Amino acid sequence: MTEEIPATADLALIKRLIPHRYPFLLIDKVVDIVAHESAVGIKNVTCNEPHFQGHFPDHPIMPGVTIVEAMAQTAAVVVGVSANLADKNALVYFMGIDKCKFRNPVVPGDVLQLKVTKIRGGGKIWKFSGRAEVEGKLCAEAEFTAMMGVQPENAETAR
């Protein structure tokens, strides 16, 4: 019997799939998951996030690199549910970012939608295209490559 791929990942499932945690877990939910293909990440941007203390105190703007990271975390959830990696200590390594453009600022109060689509992948290395939008307005876009695998049980003693 094949395990059913969820169409939505709440915060609890996200934490079972990817290793990121506060303050670097940058997605709140993933919806419209199509196994091995695409999904939409949701990031509710609030003024309480640590990067706004310095970027910029009087005019807070979400750093572009964190927007790209949020797209990559969304893609990692697609890979995680597709490869049944929940509770398997998955690791994610960024390998490259291409065609990255920033179009509009993302600010506290925005609901950022992170639309990711597979370009190629299926094994350990995946490439996705991503679009970050607020209310249908393009804020950032990029292509990114990452490797995803499972950490060995005895990783500490293997060194």
- List beta partners, residue 40: 31, 115
pLDDT digits (tens, 9 = 90+) for 58-80: 999 999 999 999 999 999 999 99
| Residue 38 exposed, middle or buried by CB count within 10 Å (0-12, 13-18, 19+) | middle
Say how many Å lie between the first and final Cα of the chain, rounded: 38
Distance CA 7, CA 157 (A): 37
Both structure tokens of 145: 């490559």
Q: Which residues are catalytic?
A: 55
Q: How far apart are CA 114 and CA 70, in angstroms?
A: 7
Count the helices and strands in the chain (H runs, E runs): 2, 6
Overall pTM surpassing 0.95 (yes/no): no
All domains in the chain, ordered by first residue: 11-150 (3.10.129.10)
Q: pLDDT tens digits for 73-113?
A: 999 999 999 999 999 999 999 999 999 999 999 999 999 99
